[in-house]
Amino acid sequence: MPEETIYLRDALDLMKTLGPDGRAVPFSIKVRTFQRNSKTGGSIRQYEKAKMVMAEENPHVDSIRSLQTVNKPRPIMRKNPNHYENKTRNIKVLPQGDIKRINIRFIIELNGQKVIY
């Protein structure tokens, strides 16, 4: 039986998709680790349920409650992570909510499909 494959570009598009409620869609991912500074790593991490960290739309945008709430002051701006230059993305591991940074070149599988370039 042939193994199902998906191109990296399509895998990244799948990770970025939003559901009908305006929130990121969960996926399963298998990725290899790597420490750039010490040039060590190589262990494989499997996350059964993860979501892409990105700005999600407010699902209550048309409700009266959203009009009554006061906007919180903006947090202090952090350094730009340059995800596209560094070929990295942030994912949130569910249900813990831990945020992990992954290198897109080290993605092995997404939703059970092998990722190819």
Averaged pLDDT of the chain = 79
**Which of the residue ranges 48-52, 74-78, 81-85 would you say has the lowest mean pLDDT?**
74-78
Residue 57 tokens, joined: 């739309």
H or E element: which one contains 29?
Answer: strand 27-35
pLDDT of residue 46: 93
Per-residue pLDDT tens over the stretch 4-37: 999 999 999 998 888 887 788 899 999 998 877 7
Q: Where are the domains of the chain?
A: 5-55+83-116
